[in-house]
Chain A
Amino acid sequence: MITADASSRAQAAKRLPMEDESTDYVTFRMGSQMFGVPVQRVQDILVPDRIAPVPLAPTEVRGLINLRGRIVTVIDVRIRLGLKDQRDPASRAMGVTVESGHELYTLLVDHVGDVITLANDSFESNPATIDGLWKDFSKGVHRLADQLMVVLDIDRLLDIRVRN
């Protein structure tokens, strides 16, 4: 399992002078879309290994992994976001481990990018045209120079109800 301390990376990242006016994000990609989660929420970046599947669990729950003695639930963000096409089996999915309600979750994403610091004034609320499902999971959008970054609402993303 490859792990890296996200917060130290965050500290290494360039900071804007006014911290209150900016936020550090761990970025990742799903397909071509860039997402970001606030760095404070991120515990770990890892390539999940030996995922133990949980029969009968919601399909978004890929299984459980052992992260230094803690059991972490692995959520497949691709399924959660309703992305139809399958992940390229050759590329290993990476995991962004976050904490929610005293429990750890690893968000399985296509590719983890850099930790970036964004000024809060580039943040906008969800555009009206955003897809219904995505709107639920998106807190808003940051305008970057060449693309848009969706700020993921982790708690809503993890609010998976068991379907029956």
Chain B
Amino acid sequence: MDDLLQEFLTEAAENLAILDVELVKFEQNPNDVEILKNIFRLVHTIKGTCGFLGLGRLEAVAHAGENVLGKFRDGELTVTPNAVTLILRCLDCIRSILSTLEETGQEPAGDDSGLIAELNALAAGEAPAAPAAPAAAYEEPHNDDQAPVLNERGFPVAAELLAEVASALAAQGIPPQDEADDERRAKESAAEEAMLAMMAAEEQRAPTVAAPASVPAPVQKAAPQAAAGEAKDSAVAAASIRVGVDILENLMTLVSELVLTRNQLLQMVRGREDSEFKTPLQRLSLITTELQEGVMKSRMQPIGNAWSKLPRIVRDLSVELGKKVDLVMQGAETELDRQLLELIKDPLTHMVRNSVDHGLEATAKDRVAAGKNDVGTITLKAYHEGGHIIISIADDGRGLNAEKIRAKALANGLATETELQTMSDHQLYQFIFRAGFSTAEKVTNVSGRGVGMDVVRSNIEKIGGTIELRSNPGHGTIFTIKIPLTLAIVSALVVECAKQRFAIPQINVLELVRASRNSEARIEEINHSPVLRLRNRLLPLVSLNRLMQIEEPDAAADLADDSRSIVIAQVGNTKFGMIVDRVFDTEEIVVKPVSHLLRSLSVYSGNTILGDGNVIMILDPHGIADSLGNAQLEETQAAEAAKTQTSESTASFLLFRAGGQEVKAIPLGLVTRIERIPAANAEYTQGRYVVQYRDHLMPLVPFNETQDWHQNETHSVLVFTEKDRSVGLVVDAIVDIVEDRMDIALTANQPGLLGSAVIAGKAIDVIDAGHFLTLGFHDWFGGVGHADAAPSDRREALLVDDSLFFRNLMTPYLTAAGWKVTTCKDAEEALKLREAGRKFSVIVSDLEMPGLGGMGFARDVKADPRWRETPFVALSALATQGIVEKSYDAGCDHYVAKSNREELLRTMNQAVSNAASMEVRNSPTPGPQDAALQPGAWRAA
């Protein structure tokens, strides 16, 4: 039932109860203007609310009653018992309608014209008509306590009427609720109708349950609404009382205090095993918890209350917009704090409107065209999850239009074109949460005015919630809101900065990171702004000491030097870290508003008293994020956007330490997994260590053979896998993952090293994975070799291979040898580069690839003038003469076995110098210098 209606019913029932009392008083003191005013006001309230709720029948009756009362009040009518009776009848009629309303949610059909006519006549100064009926009715209040049987006998008129109604109903054999009955009733004489209403009311008042049984069955049916309504009426009255919100709030505060005091006591007794307080304290603790839950519960309301108006809104909207919409609501019984309920009502309503207006396709036709049911579905879901309420609003509409958002963001100057180009769709979607952003082409009265999602978001964040959105073009959009169960008590992380403690709401905390110079995560500074490298991302950091201006003067200025705790927080889509000195436990805290003197400090959201009685401030991550300044955050977002685009020139490196203190790097793409393997699991067999790994024996290769690696307890192992073979490279410690340009500076002469690269501003040795792989499996590749001296100028190679592993392996190898490498995963992708006008010095292509394949690729390259002159080196693991022949037929210039990297490099260098020396190479015939042709060269060494 509509909660508004429910409220009205509760209120009206209370008002009617007061009215009964007041009217009786009034009758005794007809000249008491105060009582009269009160009565008038109560009836007026009922009338007003009826009109508001569209309850026409009730309104008409109440209006007529109000008229009479108005005349009394103005002294135009003298108060007579008959007049009071009529007013009472009017109230009874209202009550009987109300009881039906409560039972069915609908105003019962019926005609009150008789009663209204009487009231109007009275108001007009005429004596009340139908003396018999009023006489009976007049007595009625005084006989309330009597059994209904007596009632029936004591009032022959009424009984007669009942019998008449009974026989009429029996004759028709139709239950009175039926429309036919209503029609019949409408035709009944006015007096009879009035009496019926009165009787119904009388039944309703009958205090004993036996009432219906004593009345003839059809009559019982004639007034079933009243009878059933009576039971329910009293049930509602008994089961729920209206308590002022302030009382609840006060209770909540008191309980919060109790919780705090309990915590304090617990803290005192903690550590004292034999304390005599222990048992009573446990009991106190239990009771407090239950009390807390009970009080919290008293404030809880089903979320369905906030949804109750939505079906109507959706219906009206769908009519207005000409869409067919089905609103599915799940989990309406999920309860949350009434304060929160009030706060999310509007955002939810707005979002549902948005989903209908924007989310769903413009017309049913569009939906059918998209292969969907013509009825759009909006699904509202609510459920509890880990101390939070999750509400999701999903539509199965068209999804967000990334292009439109991009254009709009550009038009509104929210981002530059280059920024927008590098953003992922998901990042673009976030623009809809910005102020003044609406992609609706025209402003409807539903949406498109640019006030909306930004307000929704800020409202939700204000109550400590988060909102996320996912959109699947063509399939719909889903918004997920996460809000705390209650605002009053939150879980918070207590941290310390410069010997002061602060609380950070747990909902904003993503993780805690310990950063020090030597750990995986470390703090670096860009122009004095600290940033944290964390799993391949840069996070902006804010030092709480600095932000709060509570830095201790003798504190080390260099953030990177000391080990620090960092609280990673998320606010909306912004992630940032807060540098703190210490992190304590999480505690349940009672949020108290800050004094108005401190309200302007945006870094605080409240304050609280901890279990030890100390007052601490609650930090507001939103305020802190704002203080970071947008520039820095947007920078991060742009960086992130750039990251999502796979760029040719950058690669992720895994930094680790092995065989010495200096950090070494390996392209991350090569590493399948990083494992921690206990030394006890390693077995020594056939002169090497192996470990059972995923049902296979995996050779373990120590990075440094002289290293006494098996003495340690567990080892970090980089696992390289291709097909079903794995090799584990044992290293001392994993340091970090960084992303940087693959810019390998020089070739090292040490086995196992490709060269050094400047990674994150430092020269770091880049490991040749191939070297270690062949140590694990001697036949992993054909042989182990090192590149020839790097050519003096950079030449560009196009490497086409469907194996990501191979591409990742070869790229650093070739880069180390002085080649600039562009990789493609298949011929089709490579040919796109040709269309894009790219030029390469040499093309190196695998022969076995999906799609066009290597042969097809070669034929295509040689058939088009653009790349025809580029030397084409074929690679294959299948080294038979037949394939070599075929590859030449296809147009390949050279053929190298895939496993022989050394040979490949030599061939590439030669091919390029040949191409340079020969102006035209018409024939694909290999030159005599192509050692790669010799079958022996590509056999395993």
Using CB atoms and an 8 Å cutoff, list the residues of chain A in contact with chain B: 50, 52-58, 61, 63-66, 69, 71, 73, 101, 103, 105, 158, 160, 162
Contacts and interface: CB of A to CB of B under 8 A. Distances in A.
Interface string B594-615: 0111101101100111000111
12 contacts: A52-B614, A54-B601, A55-B500, A64-B617, A69-B260, A71-B595, A71-B607, A71-B615, A73-B598, A103-B595, A162-B597, A162-B601
Given A69-B260, A71-B609, A73-B597, A56 B615 contact: no
Contacts of B598: 54, 57, 61, 73
Contacts of B616: 52
Contacts of B257: 69
A9 B500 CA distance: 36
A50 B601 contact: no
Given A55-B549, A58-B597, 11 more contacts: A50-B614, A52-B500, A52-B615, A54-B598, A55-B550, A63-B615, A64-B595, A65-B615, A69-B260, A73-B595, A73-B597
B548 interface: yes
A56 B596 contact: no
Contacts of A65: 615
Contacts of B614: 50, 52, 66
B592 interface: yes
A107 to B, nearest CB: 13
B500 A101 contact: no
Contacts of A162: 597, 600-601
A69 B257 CA distance: 6
A53 B500 contact: yes
B615 A57 contact: no
Closest 3 A-B residue pairs measured CB to CB? Answer: A55-B548, A64-B615, A69-B257
B550 A158 contact: no
Contacts of B615: 50, 52, 63-66, 71
A101 B596 CA distance: 9
A160 B548 contact: no
Contacts of A158: 597
A52 B618 CA distance: 12
Most buried by A among B598, B600, B601, B603: B598
Nearest to B610: A66
The prevalent SS among residues of A at the interface is loop
Interface in B61-113: none
Contacts of A160: 597
A64 B607 contact: yes
A31 B596 CA distance: 29
A66 B260 CA distance: 12
Nearest to A73: B595
Contacts of A69: 257, 260-261, 609
Given A52-B616, A55-B550, A56-B548, A66 B597 contact: no
A57 B603 CA distance: 11
Interface string B226-251: 00000000000000000000000000
Nearest to A102: B596
A50 B499 CA distance: 13
A73 B617 CA distance: 12
B601 A57 contact: yes
A63 B500 CA distance: 12
Contacts of B549: 55-56
A55 B596 CA distance: 15
Contacts of B500: 52-53, 55
Contacts of A66: 609, 613-615
A108 to B, nearest CB: 14
A130 to B, nearest CB: 25
Contacts of B609: 66, 69, 71
A61 B604 CA distance: 15
Nearest to B260: A69
Nearest to A50: B614
A79 to B, nearest CB: 13
A65 B609 CA distance: 9
Contacts of B607: 64, 71
Nearest to B545: A55
Contacts of B595: 64, 71, 73, 103, 105
B398 to A, nearest CB: 47
Contact of A50 (B550, B597, B608, B613): B613
Nearest to B254: A69
A73 B595 CA distance: 7
A107 B607 CA distance: 20
Interface in B519-553: 548-550
Most buried by A among B597, B601, B614: B597
A3 B479 CA distance: 53
Interface in B614-658: 614-617
A83 B617 CA distance: 28
Contacts of A71: 592, 595, 607-609, 615
Contacts of A61: 597-598
Most buried by B among A55, A61, A71, A105: A55
A12 B440 CA distance: 73
A65 B613 CA distance: 9
Contacts of A101: 596
B592 A103 contact: no
Most buried by B among A66, A105, A160: A66
A57 B597 contact: yes
Contacts of B597: 57-58, 61, 73, 158, 160, 162
A14 B598 CA distance: 39
Interface in B544-573: 548-550
A14 B604 CA distance: 46
B260 to A, nearest CB: 7
A56 B601 contact: yes
A41 to B, nearest CB: 17
Nearest to A164: B600
Most buried by B among A53, A54, A101: A54
Contacts of B596: 101, 103
Contacts of A64: 595, 607, 615, 617
B606 to A, nearest CB: 9
A55 B616 CA distance: 11
B260 A56 contact: no
Nearest to B256: A69
Contacts of B548: 55-56
A85 to B, nearest CB: 24
A103 B592 CA distance: 12
Contacts of B261: 69
